[in-house]
Amino acid sequence: MKGGGMRFRTVLLLAFCLTLLLSTASSMFFVFRLIDRSAVVAMDEEAPRALEDAVEARRDPSLSAGDRLDRITEDLLAVRRAYGRLGVARKRLLIGTLETFLLFLLAQGAVLFALSWAASALLTRPLAAIRAGLERVEAGEGGYRFPALPGREVGLIGARLNGMLEAIAEKERLIAEQARLLGWQETASFLAHQIKNPLAALSLAARNLELILSARPPGAAVGENLELIGRESRRMADLITRFRETVRFPQARPERADMAGLVESATALPPAAGAVFETDLERGLTLAVDRDLVRESLLNLFTNSLEAAGASGGRPVRIRVALRREGAAGCRITVDDDVTGVPEDICRRVLHEAFSTKAGGSGLGLLFVRKVAALHGGSVAVRRAGDGGLVFTLRLKEGCGVADPGGG
């Protein structure tokens, strides 16, 4: 903007100097044209000399009266001739004046034209840049952003357009994400439908066996196992139902929960899982959350760490979990592990797509965590630690029941 202003002022200064120069040149030309040498010589030299000569002749005692009269007459005739030339000189003067005036007008017009042209070029250059940028956007260059444009108003327009482009890009990203999610929803619904029916039959059969065996004790051990089968079958069916509901963005079922206890219950994995937990939990924090969804979210994060560790050698993984109060009715759960060497681009993409580094992985686990966080008015963020490990931060708030953005 400053550069444009300077250029504009330079052009103005140059135009002013040029106008001054042309005016001076025109004036000089005008003066030269005014001087009609013949008229000047006639009236300024010849006529006075002739009159003086006539006076001299009148005073000259050596001249006779006749000679004196002749000389005076000749001198008067010279004055008359000089006077006669004045008519021609007057016309020359008139034409010369008009020529100078027209020349001056033309010069002024040329300067004004040049000045207007330069000013318009300076003013429209940023607009041309905007037009070129819009054409690039129109051609499909979605990542284009307008450079800093000179001029306050035009600069603001450029900034606003950049804002609009950012918003459009964000919307496009969301639309793409929702399209992917819709695909997963359809897949999950299909799978749930296909698995739920056999599970229901299994559950029913187990229940029947339990009833039959209960009539003939002491089949306690068989009964316990059958009860277990039945319970687990129901739990699987429930989980699948919940899973289907999850991908359909269900409403959460919040209830008051001790958050430290909830986190601890999630960390109670069997030793065979290969996880060693280090917890740093703030006690006495109770929030109204959906226990099952939060627990599943944490399990997903832990599973993510365990699978990442498995991919890098299968050694036990140390998982650090911290719980902190955040705000009046919220908390922050941080999950960190000692897995290293996660590439930067994975960190960037891991939460924003149905993304997985594992062969056959759906990437739904972290997507699930994200949706649960959203349902609790919170968020999940991931950052890359100095050693290349991923640190997940799950933020939750009271007040569940976020509307289903997918409408499913």
Partner 1 sequence: MDTLLRSVVLGIGMLFGIIRPEAPAVSCRVYRDDAAVFLNAEASRAFPQEALKLLESGNELDLVFLVSVDDRGEWSLPHSLRYDPLTRIYTVGIGETEGVHRTDSREAALSIASRLTGLRLLEVAELEPAGLSVSVSCALESPGTDASVIWNYGRPEARVRFTAASGIPR
Binding positions for partner 1, 222-281, rule CB under 8 A = none
- H/E stretch holding 60 reads none
Residue 49, interface with partner 1 (CB under 8 A)? no
- Nearer CB in complex with partner 1: 70/280: 70
Contact status, residue 364 vs residue 322, Cβ threshold 8 Å: no
Which of the ranges 83-91, 107-115, 245-253, 391-399 carries the binding residues for partner 1, by CB under 8 A? 83-91
CA distance 363 to 305: 13
- Nearer CB in complex with partner 1: 81/253: 81
Contact status, residue 285 vs residue 260, Cβ threshold 8 Å: yes
Taking the CA atoms of 198, 202, 207 and 208 in sequence, report the sign of the dihedral they define.
positive
CA distance 297 to 287: 16
Which of the ranges 89-97, 122-130, 167-175, 329-337 carries the binding residues for partner 1, by CB under 8 A? 89-97
Q: How far is the CB of 41 from partner 1 (least distance, A)?
A: 7
Residue 22, interface with partner 1 (CB under 8 A)? no
Strands 390-397 and 379-384: antiparallel
Amino acid (1-letter code) at residue 248: R
Residue 69, interface with partner 1 (CB under 8 A)? no
Select from 243, 260, 259 the least CA-distant residue to 296.
243
Q: How far is the CB of 137 from partner 1 (least distance, A)?
A: 50
Residue choice 88, 112, 159, 222 for contact with partner 1 (CB under 8 A) = 88
Residue choice 10, 24, 27, 73 for contact with partner 1 (CB under 8 A) = 73
- Nearer CB in complex with partner 1: 102/156: 102
Q: How far is the CB of 125 from partner 1 (least distance, A)?
A: 34
Q: Where are the beta strands (DSSP E) in 340-403?
A: 379-384, 390-397
- Nearer CB in complex with partner 1: 89/202: 89
3-class state of residue 242 by DSSP: helix
Contact status, residue 367 vs residue 181, Cβ threshold 8 Å: yes
Q: How far is the CB of 101 from partner 1 (least distance, A)?
A: 8
C-alpha distances (whole Å) from 386 to each of 321, 333, 338, 383 are 18, 20, 11, 10
Residue 41, interface with partner 1 (CB under 8 A)? yes
Contact status, residue 332 vs residue 394, Cβ threshold 8 Å: yes
Cα–chain-centroid distance for residue 399? 33
- Nearer CB in complex with partner 1: 99/278: 99
3-class state of residue 405 by DSSP: coil
Strands 275-281 and 317-325: parallel
Binding positions for partner 1, 92-131, rule CB under 8 A = 92, 94-95, 98-99, 102-103
3-class state of residue 337 by DSSP: strand
Q: How far is the CB of 140 from partner 1 (least distance, A)?
A: 54
Which of the ranges 32-40, 56-64, 301-309, 321-329 carries the binding residues for partner 1, by CB under 8 A? 32-40
- Size of interface with partner 1, in residues (CB under 8 A): 24
**Helical residues (DSSP H) of 35-64, grouped into ranges:** 37-40, 47-59
Residue choice 38, 108, 357, 362 for contact with partner 1 (CB under 8 A) = 38
- Nearer CB in complex with partner 1: 76/168: 76
Q: How far is the CB of 114 from partner 1 (least distance, A)?
A: 19
> What DSSP character marks residue 312?
T
Residue 83, interface with partner 1 (CB under 8 A)? yes
> What DSSP character marks residue 313?
T
Residue 168, interface with partner 1 (CB under 8 A)? no
Which of the ranges 70-78, 163-171, 328-336, 364-372 carries the binding residues for partner 1, by CB under 8 A? 70-78
Residues that bind partner 1 (CB under 8 A): 36, 38-39, 41-42, 73, 77-78, 80-81, 83-85, 87-89, 91-92, 94-95, 98-99, 102-103
